[in-house]
Amino acid sequence: MGVGILAGLLAGALWGLVFVAPRMVPSMSGVDFTAGRFVAYGVLAFALIWLAKNKQWPTWSQARSALLLSFLGFTGYYLLLVYGIQDAGTEVPSLIIGTIPLWMMILGKPVGLSWKSVVPGLLLTGSGLALMMTAALDTNSSAGHVHPHFWRGVAFSVASMACWTAFGLMNAQWLKNHPEVSATTWANWLGVATGLGALLLWFVAGSEPKVLLADENIAWAAMLAVATGIGSAWLATILWNVASQRLSASLCGQLIVSETIFALAYSFVWDGLWPTIAQWTASLLFVGGILASIRAHR
């Protein structure tokens, strides 16, 4: 269990980076950045499979599962999240994604856990989310950084959260049903499926190569795409698979709170700002809600 908890926390620290990365290259469209990040993940995963002494390729059934889960947990999830961040900033989308532990606990609730015990965590988390939304709107307004499509960004973030919640539950169940597949092997299969999906996404909705190359931030964007593709996708997926194999879906899901905490910390560092009292309070309420849910689970 200790290894599983540590792996889940480290995965959260790597995932937190993806909330800030799109803001580092505002000239890059959400589709282009998403495709670049996951193509890097796919290329690395394919190379690792190809160079392995004992190549292990998925069956058709396993490949179909990898394609579906790659859309829910990677391409579809992150594209929606990028749009959410572009429209609403970092703080609110990161907190919306941070409610995934609650949804995973509710949907993957053990039989012995009463619904009454879940209410305190839900109330604390909901209060924190509402306060953070209000604080983000007030802060952006006073600083002159008004997000004209704030609520559209919230909608994108909610859809993103729904995608990853489904992925978290289905991925954990798949791994438990296939103990013969290692965490690294499954991460590589997911990577190849994700890379193929990202290429299709770019061909359908991405920018033309000449437009991308003309962007003055293309080199910086490419480095970010590779860094988050390898660190926040490939390595984080291996760590999350390790956690998923060792912990129950509901307990494993609670560890995603580390993603929210790191995302907020990275955001404040990037902006060079210190959280306001309202943002501190909202964060404490949010973390308190997750802790209350963990206690209820135990």
Has residue 144 got a pLDDT over 60? no
Residue type, 157: S
Higher pLDDT, 138 or 173: 173
pLDDT at residue 297 in the model: 59
Has residue 158 got a pLDDT over 90? yes
pLDDT at residue 146 in the model: 58
Has residue 222 got a pLDDT over 60? yes
Has residue 72 got a pLDDT over 90? yes
176-213 confidence digits (pLDDT tens): 899 888 888 998 999 999 999 999 989 888 888 888 88
Q: What is the pTM of this model?
A: 0.77
Q: How confident is the model at residue 80 (pLDDT cuts 50, 70, 90)?
A: very high
pLDDT at residue 87 in the model: 86
Higher pLDDT, 285 or 156: 156
Has residue 65 got a pLDDT over 90? yes
> Comparing C-alpha atoms, which of 101, 93, 123 is closest to residue 285?
123
Question: For 287-291, what is the mean pLDDT?
Answer: 77
